[in-house]
Structure formats: C-alpha cells, structure tokens
Structure 1
Amino acid sequence: MFTTPFDGLHKNLGANFENYCGFSLPADYGSPAAESAALYQHCCAFDLSAFARIAVSGSDAPALIHSLFVSRTDNLESGSWTWAIAPDTCGSLLDIVRLCKINASYLILASPRSRKKLLEIIKSISDQNGISDLKIIDNTEKTGMLALYGPAAVNAFRNIVPIDIEDLEIGNCLSISLFMMPITVVRGSFLSLDGIELIAPAAACKLAASAIEKYHKKENITPAGMECLEAALTEASLPIMLTDQLLPQRLPPAAYGLAALLDPKKPQSNCRPTRQLVGLKLQGNAHQHRDLTVQYGGLEIGWTDRVVYSHKLACAYSLAIVDQEMADLSEEVQLTAPNFTMPAEIVPLPLDPTLNPKFFSPK
C-alpha cells in the first residue's frame, strides 16, 4: 500500500487505518457519527491523496479534453473548474470528474478506481487522433491532496495556511509557488458542500499537516476518514462510488441522473437509459454491505454497490440503479445478497430530509 504525506498526522491523531484503493488511509478516527456531524456543522479534514490527479498540457490539450469528456469543456475559463463526465470506450459511464483549468493547462480530479482506465483512454484517444503536442503527468503518487469540507472550511483554511484565498470563489482554482514549491488550491468539493482543497508535493503537505495538528482544536477542524467521506458522497446523491463497479450492464451517463452535464452536440449524449438512479431507505444500522441486487416480486429490478448508515438522515440508505419503470414504485423491495435479504423502499433524490420530509425523519 502507498502511504500519503499525511500519514504521520493520521497516526498522531489516532486514526484507524484501512486499505483504500491501494492507499493506507484513515477509515475513521474513532467516531464516524461525530465526524459526520462536524462535516455539516463546521468542517472536516480529509486526506484525498488516493483521488486521481492527472495534469494535461500542450497545444493539443483542448482537443484531447474535448474528446475525453461528453460534457461541454470549450467554455471552461482559466482559474475555474467544472464537473465533467468521462465515458468508457463503450459509451457507458466511467467517472464523474472535476476538470480544472489553470492558464492553458488542465487538471483532472477523478475517483481513485478510474485512474488507470482514464490514463488508458487518454493514450488511446491521443494515438487514434494523432494528438502529439501533449504532456500527460499522473501526479497521484507524486503529490498529496488535503481537503477541508464544511460550512466553516474556508475560514479555517484562511486562519492556518499562509495562502491568500480572499478572491477565491466556489468553482475557482489557482496555482502558486510557496517556498519554491508548486501549490494548487481549489475552492469547492466532491460533496454538496463548500470546501478548500490543497494539492502539493510531499514537503508542502507536511507543512499543512503540521498546521492541522497544531491548530485543529482551536479552529474546530475535525479529522475525518473514508467512511465519513463515502457516506457524505451518497448523501449528496453523487454516484461516484457506483462507477467503480463491474456493472451488471453498461449504462449511459443519463441513467445516473447526469443529463444536465451532457453536451448535446456530442454523440454519446444521445443514448437513452433503460435504468435510472434512485435512493433506497432501509431500517437498522446496515453498514458497508456491497454488491447487492434489488428485487421486487422475486425478480431482479436493479442493483447497488453498498449500503451505509447516515447519521444525518438517521437511517441506512443507498444509491441504486433500477429499471426505469420501477423508479416510482411505492411498494417494498428487497436488497438481496447470497446470505441475507433486507427490506427497503425506493425514495426520490436528492436524499435530503428538507426536500423529502415524507421519507426521512432526521434526528
């Protein structure tokens, strides 16, 4: 397993470690419930070093980016980022990435498990289209990535890191040199929350780690693990984790509720789904069950890759892909694995008790 530049920080703060996509990262710091509460009430610090960071530059970079994504990318301005959809070679969804542009260069921030496939597709597109003036650098193992997420994240970052982010708005990014080290700062998050992300070489990451360790109590920054992050990703109704699986069938991006991100001028955008993304609500403390089928009347109508417990929603829940005609089903369905079955109900997205009070009774 790879260790990250923040490994010492995690150990000093009492992390419980897990193998997360080949990286040794905190699963939690002892209380996932406290971490979840802090994320929505103040801010949490996450080590996102396992997430892919792929730099693309050269005069042919815009042509590659245009071909790589089925989202519109030609209107992305320098100093900003946008969500972009990366399909695989068959047109089904590979990943939902965040695409940053700084000057004439691009930075792709992607989920951990799609990294190698993205690099393969980039090479294939370059070879097939004769794109030659191109520089691709996979910085995932050469840098670290620290994120502060939550309503107080920006103020906390401003108080402990000597980088001027006064003019950095949500959706912005910048590149600076700090102590002769290249630093990228991104305003935003992989969640439906505000945040600040810092991408830097190991030496600069260790400076940031020292600041977190020294000031996290004063600034009310809660260190959080991957369990909290994955639960929050699902609470945000963002199906990043679903894209990591060996899918029972190949599905276009629209099946995941991502039609608004598609560029209608690109051919892959015309695919019409037969299944769609829904929420599932379950009783009890079901946690981290994976690779489940959704059944109704003894027939399979869909699947999901995991069930987690949400302290925010006060229930176990999941994102699932089901047959389109079953998406509004009001009757009970079953989540089935080889050794157990759990009853569940289909709920509308987003998984938000303020928007769907009928389905959720938060604490």
Structure 2
Amino acid sequence: MSDQTAAGDPTRSEGQTPADVSVDLDAAEPATDERFSPLHDVHVAAGASFTDFAGWQMPVRYSSDLAEHHAVRSAAGLFDLSHMAEIAVVGPDAGAFLDNALAGTLSSIAIGRAKYSLLLSAEGGIVDDLVVYRLDEHDYLVVANASNREAAFSALGARIGDFDVTVDDESDDTALIAIQGPESEGILDELVTRDRLQPDEPLSTLRYYRVLRATFDDSPVLLARTGYTGEDGFELYVDPAVAADLWSALVEAGGPRGLVPAGLASRDTLRLEAGMPLYGHELGLDVRPAQAGLGRVVDTSKPFVGRGGVDPAPDARVLVGLTLEGRRAARAGYPVVTDDGTVVGTVTSGALSPTLGHPVAMAFVDPDVVERGPGLAVDVRGTAIPAAVVSLPFYKRS
C-alpha cells in the first residue's frame, strides 16, 4: 500500500546526479499540533533530516537518498512508518462489514493473510488504499495512509450500520518498523538466534502477504511479509514502548549485512521503480480504480459502497509508465505532450531512477496514448524531453 510522504525540496534542480535528486513527495495539509514518532530521538541521534508530513516530523533521509535506495536493493533498509494508521475491525460481522465497506472481498481471506484493497467514496473515487490483515476469525487490522487516518476511520465508522462490529483507531498505540531488502529475512533470523525475536512459526514459512504473531523481548509483535519497495521485506507492528529497542537490535544485527536506516525519500524512489501508486499522486477522490490499473482490486460481483460509480468514463485518462531520454527527471504536474505540442497527459510521479540510471515517471494520459509509438515527450520546464510508454513496473526483483 502507498504510505504518503511529504513535499520534496523545491530548491533542487533538474539534471543533478541521482544522489542529489529530490523526488516529488506528496504534500499533505499539516496538522495543528506537531507530532513525533516514538523513534524520533533515535533518528535525531542518527543524524536524520526531517520533513513535516500531516503534522508528523518524519526522517526524509539519513545520509543520501541514493545510498539508502541502493542499500534496499542490494542489502536492507530500515524504515520508521509509525505515522501510518492502524484501525482494528472486530466482531462477528467483521468480514461482512469489510466486504460492504471496501471494494474487495475480505471475508474470504484466510487467517494469517493480508490483502490490498480500496476504500471508495459513494461516488466511486478512491478515499484511500489499504492493506487488510486477517488476524483471527472475527479480527481484522486495516492499515491506512498517514494523512488519510481521519478520513479512513470516519468512512469506516459511518458504514457500520447494523453490522455487529467495532471499529477502533489504534494508531497511537502502534509503532511500525519496516525492514526491506534481500537481507531482511537473514537479519530477522539473527534476532531469532539471539532469542530476542520469537515468531510463532519459522520466518522461512512466512510467504508474501502473510502475517504471524511473534514476541520481541516478551512484547507482542505482528510480523507481516509486506512492503512498499519492490523488494522482499517485513513490517513489524509493535508497542511504541519497545520500538526503540527493536530498532536498535535490528541496526546491530543488520550492520554486518549492509543494513542502513532509510528515509522517506528513498522509499519514494523505490516504490516508483516498482510501479506502486502513491495516494495524492496516482490515487485520489477524482480517480477511479481502473484508471490507476487497480481494476483487479475491485470485486464487482458483490455490493459495496461506491459500486455504482466505480466505472470510469470512456475517455477518462489512464495511468501509464514513461521512460525519458537523458537525465532530467519529470516531476508531478509536468505536461505530457505530442510532437506538435498538444497536451495529452500529466505526470503524477517522476525521478531519475537510481537502479536503472535513466528517468522514469508515471502519468495519466488520454486513452489513445497508451498504444502510441514515437512522438511523445514530457515538457520539463519548457524543454520537450522525448518519452516512451512502457509497462509497469519499471523494476522487478529477480
């Protein structure tokens, strides 16, 4: 799912090296009160640079975006995602309630599994994209984007109706740490060897989009094999009181394997390369799921809130991947144009890909552009940079 990140540094210019490029990160309306992760002091001690996101002070980078990006692709990166929203849905009708409230069918997933889904408005637009974990027969955990915490909680609460279910916001009682990259399992296994992390089952048996219960120093942990980077990895939901100890233990165990703390800037370039949508860029209330390539997430065989408006207009723009020539990155909002200057789309996310070495972008374009050959470009501050439509994702781990 797409955790949102904060606005990038507008003083950085195009044509810089990948290490210096600041990707477009989603700007959220700041909250009145500044909020801090339970790991804030740990990040300060590690020399992190911070950015404001929806009132949260979150680490955007520790060293360089490029170094942190490459560490995730080659070894492992450690992310603080404690600003995300965790909503418990519990009760005899929990599955049926979620089937009605969300676009997917959640009642059919097995205990210990997770599913990506969408929370739609009554008109069919995307309120948020979510990951839903089934923890027990009548016990689900819904994880929403940070800046959509109130919108998601409010929308779910308004849909309870006659369902025998409770919906509780547990965000303030939950810290979330993600470890992502090919060395992730080995690093967690090192904590198992040290008797600090004790999963109910061996980590090797935990497949993608599965979750199991564990303890860390006798404190409960939900351990999920999920992530938002295009790499193998895990997300650990823990009590905020033990988050700093868990973070330090992972840094110690992972250091010899190349693990580094990583900020939200590198997380954004990682998800972009993996073709994963970001709320506020590729997703929003004005976007229907099929436009963003998420038609597969919607189960049209059942009724749900937003079902009547889920189909986009025939001429609605659709999301595509673009590769650009040269090294100048396309940014969100830049026009996609034909060779005669006609605007046929708009870039939603773009960066000079650290892994691939050339610029990549996602954009909403007119439907007839999808099959177009030569003759497309992105208007980068008055210069038409040749671009080609490509299939997503840009990067897929081997």
Answer yes or no: same fold by TM over 0.5: yes
What is the Cα deviation at residue 341 of structure 1?
A: 5.0
1:290 and 2:332 correspond: yes
**Contact between 1:29 and 1:225, CA under 8 Å: does it hold in 2?**
yes
Which of residues 80, 83, 90 in structure 2 aligns to 1:47? Answer: 80
Other-structure match for 1:261: 297
CA shift, 1:180, in A, is: 5.7
- The 1:62/1:204 distance shift into structure 2, 3 A limit, reads same
- Cα distance in 2 for residues equivalent to 1:353 and 1:60: 40
* Residue aligning to 2:162: 130
Give the Å deviation of 1:245. Answer: 6.4
Alignment of 1:318-333 (within 5 A): 318-333=361-376
- Does residue 92 of structure 1 match 2:139? no
Find the counterpart in structure 2 of residue 349 from structure 1. 391
Kept in 1, the 8 Å contact 2:181–2:232? The answer is yes
Identify the residue that residue 263 of structure 2 maps to in structure 1: 225
1:18 counterpart letter in structure 2: T
If the length of structure 1 is used for normalisation, what is the TM-score?
0.86
1:276 aligns with 2:318: yes
Shift of 1:305: 3.0
Alpha-carbon deviation of 1:313? Answer: 1.5
SS of alignment partner, residue 130 of structure 1: coil
Equivalent AA in structure 1 for residue 390 of structure 2: P
**Whose strand proportion is higher, 1 or 2?**
1
Q: Within 5 Å, which residues of 2 pair with 1:135-214?
A: 135-160=166-191, 161-164=196-199, 165-166=201-202, 167-176=205-214, 178=216, 181-214=219-252
**Distance in 1 between the 2:263 and 2:330 partners?**
14
Output the CA distance in 2 between the equivalents of 1:2 and 1:229: 21
Alpha carbons of structure 1 residues 136 and 276: separation in structure 2 relative to 1, 3 Å: same
Q: CA deviation at 1:187?
A: 1.3
Out of 37, 43, 52, the residue aligned to residue 4 of structure 1 is 37
**Distance between the aligned counterparts of 2:302 and 2:335, measured in 1?**
32
Aligned-pair CA distance for 1:322: 1.1
Partner of residue 342, structure 2:
299
Give the counterpart letter for 1:325 in structure 2: D
Render the CA deviation track for 1:153-192: whole Å, top value 9, x for unaligned: 1111221352225132222112345556432111121233
- Counterpart Cα distance in 1 of 2:386 and 2:54: 29
Residues 224 and 354 of structure 1: CA distance in aligned 2, closer, same or farther (over 3 Å): closer
- Kept in 2, the 8 Å contact 1:278–1:321? The answer is yes
Give the distance between the partners of 2:127 and 2:172, measured in 1 at CA.
21
Aligned to 2:148, the other structure's residue is in SS state helix
User: For residues 231 and 86 of structure 1, what CA distance do their matches in structure 2 show?
Assistant: 25
- Alpha-carbon shift at residue 102 of structure 1 (Å): 0.3
Tell me the secondary structure at the aligned position of residue 66 of structure 2. helix
CA contact (8 A) 2:350 2:360 kept: yes
CA distance in 1 between partners of 2:337 and 2:156 (Å): 38
Conserved in 1, the CA contact under 8 Å of 2:75 and 2:181?
Answer: yes
Deviation at 1:80, TM superposition (A): 0.9
Q: Give structure 1 stretches of 5+ with no counterpart.
A: 356-363
Cα-to-partner distance string for 1:41-97 (whole Å, 9 max, x where unaligned) = 111111111222111112232222111211122211111111112222210233332
Which residue does 1:361 correspond to in 2? Answer: none
Q: Deviations over 1:315-361 (max 9, x none)?
A: 22211111111112223434458x65552413222243689xxxxxx
- Within 2, Cα distance between the matches of 1:213 and 1:191? 19
**Alignment partner, residue 25 of structure 1:** 58
Range 109-118 or range 68-77, more displaced: 109-118
Deviation at 1:12? 2.4
Q: Helix, strand or coil: the match of 1:234?
A: helix
Which residue is 2:31 aligned to? none
Once residues 287 and 154 of structure 1 are traced to their aligned partners in structure 2, the CA distance between those partners, rounded to angstroms, is 34
CA contact under 8 A between 1:17 and 1:28: conserved in structure 2?
yes
Give the Cα–Cα distance (whole angstroms) in 2 for the partners of residues 353 and 234 of structure 1.
9
Task: Decide whether aligned partners of structure 1 residues 344 and 203 sit closer, same or farther in structure 2, where only a CA change above 3 A counts.
Answer: farther
- Count of residues in Structure 1 that have an aligned counterpart in Structure 2: 349
| Identity in percent | 23
Which letter does structure 1 place at the counterpart of 2:159? I
Q: From the superposition, tell whether residues 343 and 106 of structure 1 become closer, same or farther in structure 2 (CA, over 3 Å).
A: same
Q: Does 1:76 align with 2:112?
A: no
State the one-letter code of the partner of 2:95.
P
Distance 1:117 1:292, change over 3 A: farther
2:197/2:214 contact within 8 Å kept? no
In structure 2, the CA distance between the partners of 1:195 and 1:96, relative to structure 1 (3 Å rule), is same
Cα 1:147–1:258 change in 2 (3 A) is same
TM-score of the two chains, using structure 2 as the length reference: 0.79
Deviation sequence 1:14-53 (CA, Å, 0-9, x none):
2121113332111112221111111111111111112221
Q: Is the 8 A contact 1:242 1:304 kept in 2?
A: no
Which structure has more relative contact order (CA 8 Å, sep 6+)? It is: 2
Q: Deviations over 1:234-284 (max 9, x none)?
A: 11111134557666xx33211111222221303638614532110122345
